[in-house]
A and B are shown apart, each in its own frame.
Chain A
Amino acid sequence: MSEYSAGRSGFSPAYLDRVGSSFTDFLAAAAPDLLPGRRPVPQIPVGNVAPHGTTIVSVTYDGGVLMGGDRRATMGNLISSRDIEKVYPADAWSVIGIAGAAGIAIEMVRLYQVELEHYEKIEGLTLSLDGKANRLAQMIRGNLGAALQGLAVVPLFAGFDLDAAPGATPGRIFSYDVTGGNYEERGYSAVGSGSLFARNSLKKTWRPDLDGGAATRSLVEALYDAADDDSATGGPDPVRRLYPIVYRVDAEGTVRVPDDEIAAVASRITDERSAADGQG
């Protein structure tokens, strides 16, 4: 605890040691108790007592990449939250969405955000997109012990590649498994309990050259389909005015798509489906 209250006695040697630009590595030396991977792993499976986040979907389009997530968190058969946010900006050019044990996942996102910003401030440059994806893999790897006790965290990472070769799509998506495996996806991807249904939906609606509007619709529709068949994924909720959270990363940076826009897309989808003779 004492190491990070450097106010009283000046900087401890770890602070002045000029090696490395990683915040996580620095914490491991100066305040290891703050790192999520350093805690004792529970001895018995505890998956049912912790809220779990569910479906995250990401699609590329001609100008970049979109990522969206539903708003539900579940705890066993209970809905523990209707308005949880599971997609976050990682930095100005990338977004991260999380499925799995919500507490650990959100802590990991916070650490990851600081990690990217820390690097940027110390080096004066942003990490490459592949560098960021790799860094996230290392964090997931550290969580393997907890994952085996039911506290798995599986992120989806997407970003705008500033170094993309001309002609190549600048929007890129990376998926992960619990062991920290890092796979680049082509076009679209989904993680979480409803991912199977979301991916099937995207298979039919997504095309490589979609524009932003069509890609947004494709993404919201995939979440709708996931909610249709997966009890742990929440659909659009016009009663409470809760809609999926969607972030867009394009040449201008990371922007959250306004709720009104998503609400309009979601209501168009529900209207079309109810018009189609009630078969969904």
Chain B
Amino acid sequence: MTMPYYASPEQLMRDKSEYARKGISRGRSVAVVTYADGVLFIAENPSSTLHKVGELYDRIGFAAVGRYSEFESLRVAGVRLADVRGYSYNRRDVTGRVIANAYAQTLGEVFTQQMKPFEVELCVAEVGETPESDQLYRLTFDGSVVDEPDFVVMGGQAEAVSANLREHFLPGMGLAEALRVGVQALSAVSPATSAGNGGPALLTAEQLEVAVLDRRRPKRAFRRIAGAALRPLLDRQEEDGAVAGEEPHTAAHAPSVPQPGAPAGLGDPGAPDTGGTAGSGGEAPTT
């Protein structure tokens, strides 16, 4: 008979933390930055189908780093929670705080009770009517939840990216400016750029996954910015380092007629009745 080894709770927790941290630090970083009209998600993600950023509800978005299968199941759980609450109460009763709490509970439970903790770090972002009411919740693998102002950085070299962002971030930036600051901060540590092992100075549109929660959009605020919409935004910043925040961001937004098969919500925010905003179960019928 072998006796089970004794390990102190402190040791166990330390080991689990170290394990989770190692897993997360292998991944590429994600930055979630507030800007004048909402929240901008920037992820270094060469895959165009395995998303790190997603929509949870009308005004709530999700970003994650770490093990894909784990955060994908958490994203789906978040969508389900939001939809069940919105269906059984009202769409206005779904808040980022409720979802962040559920994530915190689940992550905490898994961390303390299971052998293997989740190797993920999440951010739940919610846009309000004004920049002051925007919320960013950052959730770590052990279930701790922090309400952060301005921006959240997660993943491999979060500290370095955070330091860089802290230097350049200004409250109330326009979309192009916020994107420039974010991409520059991610590029400074990325192995895919000249800062790492050589390559272009900044990450290119193909290496980035970008999305916004735009408070000016009615109902569903989440919108991906990809391909034809993203490239001009990125190009503009290479030409002249500082693009004024007053640039008309609508010009760079997705075309008002979404590509066939594109998910709803890719329309032009200037024309709220197009592509994806008019429908999708917005108003609860009240008769």
Chain A positions within 8 Å of B, measured between CB atoms, are 4, 6-11, 15-16, 18, 23, 26-27, 30-31, 34, 73, 81, 84-85, 88-95, 102, 106, 109-114, 116-118, 120-122, 124-126, 162-163, 251-256
Contacts and interface: CB of A to CB of B under 8 A. Distances in A.
Contacts of B86: 114
Interface stretch (B17-25, B170-178, B197-205, B256-264): B256-264
B56 to A, nearest CB: 8
Which of B49, B257, B260, B281 gathers most chain A CB within 10 Å? B281
Contact of A122 (B49, B76, B107, B265): B76
B109 A110 contact: no
Contact of B84 (A30, A95, A252): A30
A121 B279 contact: no
B106 A253 contact: no
Interface residues of B, number: 51
Interface in B238-287: 256-258, 260-261, 263-265, 267, 273-282, 284-285, 287
A255 B267 CA distance: 13
A106 B54 CA distance: 29
A11 B285 contact: no
Interface of B: 49, 51, 54-56, 72-74, 76-77, 79-81, 83-88, 98, 101-109, 256-258, 260-261, 263-265, 267, 273-282, 284-285, 287
A92 B276 contact: yes
Given A92-B276, A92-B279, A106 B285 contact: yes
Which of A89, A90, A92, A254 gathers most chain B CB within 10 Å? A92
23 contacts: A7-B101, A8-B105, A10-B106, A11-B81, A15-B81, A16-B74, A16-B76, A26-B80, A30-B80, A88-B285, A89-B279, A89-B282, A92-B275, A92-B276, A110-B87, A110-B281, A110-B284, A110-B285, A114-B87, A118-B80, A124-B49, A254-B278, A254-B279
A162 B102 contact: no
A53 to B, nearest CB: 9
A149 B112 CA distance: 53
A92 B277 contact: yes
Contacts of B79: 118, 121-122
Contact of A118 (B83, B98, B105, B278): B83
B77 A89 contact: no
Contacts of B105: 7-11
Given A4-B84, A11-B81, A34-B84, A124 B263 contact: yes
Contacts of B278: 89, 92, 253-256
Contact of B275 (A11, A94, A252): A252
Contacts of A4: 81, 84-85, 88
A120 B264 contact: yes
Contacts of A30: 80, 84
Given A121-B55, A121-B79, A10 B87 contact: no
A4 B84 CA distance: 7
Contacts of B264: 91-93, 120, 126, 253
Nearest to B287: A84
Contacts of B108: 10
Contacts of B279: 89-95, 113, 253-254
Contacts of B280: 89, 91-92, 113, 116-117, 120
Contacts of A122: 76, 79
B162 to A, nearest CB: 28
A125 B83 contact: no
Contacts of A255: 273-274, 278
A9 to B, nearest CB: 6
Given A16-B73, A256-B278, A251 B83 contact: no
Nearest to B86: A114
A67 B59 CA distance: 29
Contacts of A118: 79-80, 83
Contact of B285 (A15, A109, A114): A109
Nearest first, the 7 A-B pairs at minimum CB distance are: A113-B281, A10-B105, A92-B264, A89-B279, A10-B106, A15-B77, A162-B260
Contact of B257 (A91, A94, A110, A251): A251
A6 B274 contact: no
Nearest to B55: A121
